[in-house]
Amino acid sequence: MASFMGLFPYNMAGPLNFYHHNNYKYQIGNHRNSALFSCIDHNLTQHMLSCKRQSCSTSTITCSAANKPSPSTEVSSTAKIRSEVLSPFRTVRMFFYLAFLASGALGGLIATTRLIAALANPSRAAEVPEILKGLGIDIGAAAIFAFLYYRENKAKNVQLARLSREENLSNLKLRVDEKKIISVSSLRGVARLVICAGPAPFILESFKLSEPFTQSLLDRGVLVVPFASNGNLPSFEFDEGEEMKELTTKRKRLWQLAPIYVSEWSNWLDEQKKLAGVSPESPVYLSLRMDGRVRGSGVGYPPWNAFVAQLPPSKGMWSGLLDGMDGRVL
């Protein structure tokens, strides 16, 4: 984990605090200084945001960033390709199911015409039992293959929906420090993210409950993404005493990430809650595997002790070998 953190420098002075207001203002602060970012939408048709940064000194920095729309809810080609890789023979199975279904339906149609002709001709009455037997076989075969095709197609749609949601999650952005912004996909194979989403008191209590497990969580590559549903991320308090310096450094490392483009995060989380039948106001957590796929979720505080017990260490003799044992995909 130490080598990983070397790739992403973090602010030793304190964690970043985001405050989201309706007038598109974000305030970022730490123990040493504070800055005010005012974002004003000058031209919605061009999807651009103009951001003006004003500090306590006389210097002013002006920057601009594209106001990208939320990821499309349609299934992307990437999700379809991943689905084909995960289930390479599904298309072949569905083709044969359709072929056998068509064969059974055609056989049933032919048997039906023969049955009508036999019933209309008394001299062919002896053929009726045999025709009925063949018709029953054709109808049964068509029904079986129709069911198999329906089940396979349903599984395909469920898988595509899950992969599409995972792709949307991987495109969400995170702030590592004041100068570095990455996507969730950048942490695949590097860290296991735990997303805590809820009001500020819920985030703060989750922060406190994680303290006894700080070292164990870092050993397992866990990094926390706190998302304040009310728009106000609480200010985390760290013990800056000399005796607690090492623990404080690890605590800041564990909680260093912060989500940006809040509306996209909110839309993604609302979709997950809706699919799970959870109230939009309920505080939730989501645990991701090392490959970025969702391995667990629930309402309430994250079970830090369960994560320590279930997740393998990210370093040592078992590193890499146990990466696929994060848990089954939900």
> Residue 165: phi, psi to the nearest 5?
-65, -40
pLDDT, tens digit (0-9, with 9 covering 90-100), for 246-284: 888 999 999 999 998 888 999 999 988 988 888 888 999
Q: How far apart are CA 279 and CA 45, in angstroms?
A: 34
Instruction: Report pLDDT for 326.
Output: 59
pLDDT, tens digit (0-9, with 9 covering 90-100), for 185-222: 899 888 999 999 999 999 999 999 999 999 999 999 99
Q: How far apart are CA 193 and CA 222, in angstroms?
A: 6
| Other CB atoms within 10 Å distance of the CB of residue 106 | 12
Instruction: Report pLDDT for 35.
Output: 35
Band (pLDDT 50/70/90 cuts) for residue 122 is confident
Please check the confidence at residue 16 and state whether its pLDDT lies above 80.
no
First to last CA, the chain: 26
Q: Please state whether the predicted TM-score (pTM) of the whole model is above 0.75.
A: no
> Where are the extended beta strands (E) located within the chain?
17-20, 25-29, 34-43, 48-54, 60-66, 173-175, 181-183, 192-198, 222-228, 258-259, 284-288, 294-299
| Cβ-Cβ contacts under 8 Å for 257 (sequence gap 6 or more) | 174, 175, 176, 193, 223, 224, 225, 226
pLDDT, tens digit (0-9, with 9 covering 90-100), for 102-112: 999 999 999 99
Using left for φ > 0, alpha for ψ between -120 and 50, and beta otherwise, residue 258 falls in beta
Q: How far apart are CA 7 and CA 30, in angstroms?
A: 21
The DSSP letter of residue 70 is: P
**More reliable by pLDDT, 5 or 255:** 255
Q: 220, 172, 178: which is closest to 195 by C-alpha?
A: 172
Strands 294-299, 284-288: pairing is antiparallel
The residue written with tokens 């009925």 in the block is 132
The residue written with tokens 């920057």 in the block is 63
Adjacency order of strands within the sheet including 222-228: 222-228, 192-198, 284-288, 294-299
Output the six-digit token pair for 213: 């497990």
User: Reduced to 3 DSSP states, what percent helix, strand and coil does the chain have, rounded to the nearest 5?
Assistant: 50, 20, 30
Output the six-digit token pair for 297: 């979720």
**More reliable by pLDDT, 119 or 85:** 119
